[in-house]
C-alpha cells in the first residue's frame, strides 16, 4: 500500500463529490472503484465510472485515500477519519457563516426548520450532557 501525507498536511476540505466517495468508503470499508461507482449510482447520483476513477486517483494524490495495488483490482480505503473530517467541516462552516457561534447556528436552524418533539428532546439531552461536563 502506498504511503500518503498525514491528514494534517492535506490541502483544503473535501469537496461534495469527494465527501460522497469518502462516505461510501466509511460505510462499506475498503472498496474497488466499481463498487464505489455502483453505490453512488444506486444513490441516484448519475456518475460515469471514468469520473469516479479519476476522482479517486486525485483523492489518492491528495492523501485522502489509500490504494492497495497488491491485487489486480485496486482497492481504496479512506485515509481520513470520518468524525474528525466532518467535525472540521462543521467548525469551518460555523466559523464562516455564524462568526463561530454555535448558538447563532442553532437559533437559525430551529427558527427556520421544523424540529420534531423527539428531535427537540434529543437536543435538550445533548445540551444537558454538555452542561454536566463543565
User: Could you tell me the CATH number of the domain that includes residue 49?
Assistant: 1.10.10.10
The pTM assigned to this predicted structure is 0.76
Mean pLDDT of 102-129: 86
Output the pLDDT for position 22: 98
Strand partners, 31: 76
pLDDT tens track for 7-63: 434 457 899 999 999 999 999 999 999 999 999 999 988 999 999 999 999 999 999
Q: Is the pLDDT confidence value at 4 over 80?
A: no
Q: Is the pLDDT confidence value at 80 over 50?
A: yes
Output the pLDDT for position 11: 52
- Identify each DSSP E strand in 11-130 by its residue range: 65-68, 75-78
Same domain flag for 58 and 119: no
Mean pLDDT of 107-129: 86
Same domain flag for 112 and 78: no
Output the pLDDT for position 54: 97
In a domain, 90, yes or no: no
Mean pLDDT of 72-87: 94
In a domain, 58, yes or no: yes
In a domain, 2, yes or no: no
Q: Is the pLDDT confidence value at 79 over 70?
A: yes
Q: Which residue segment(s) compose the domain that 122 sits in?
A: 101-134
In a domain, 128, yes or no: yes
**Contact assessment for residue 31 and residue 24, using Cβ atoms and an 8 Å cutoff:** yes
Same domain flag for 16 and 76: yes
* Listed residues 53, 82, 111: the one ending a domain: 82
Residues of the chain with pLDDT > 90: what percent? Answer: 66
Average pLDDT, the chain: 88
Amino acid at each position: 500500500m502506498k504511503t500518503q501525507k498525514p491528514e494534517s498536511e492535506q490541502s483544503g476540505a473535501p469537496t461534495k463529490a469527494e465527501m460522497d466517495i469518502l462516505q461510501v468508503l466509511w460505510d462499506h470499508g475498503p472498496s474497488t472503484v466499481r463498487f464505489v461507482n455502483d453505490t453512488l449510482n444506486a444513490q441516484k447520483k448519475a456518475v460515469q465510472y471514468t469520473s469516479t476513477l479519476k476522482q479517486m486517483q486525485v483523492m489518492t494524490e491528495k492523501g485522502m485515500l489509500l490504494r492497495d495495488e497488491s491485487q489486480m483490482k485496486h482497492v481504496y480505503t479512506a485515509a481520513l477519519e470520518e468524525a474528525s473530517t466532518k467535525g472540521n467541516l462543521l467548525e469551518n462552516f460555523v466559523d464562516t457563516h455564524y462568526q463561530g457561534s454555535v448558538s447563532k447556528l442553532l437559533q437559525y436552524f430551529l427558527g427556520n426548520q421544523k424540529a420534531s418533539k423527539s428531535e427537540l428532546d434529543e437536543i435538550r439531552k445533548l445540551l444537558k450532557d454538555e452542561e454536566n461536563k463543565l
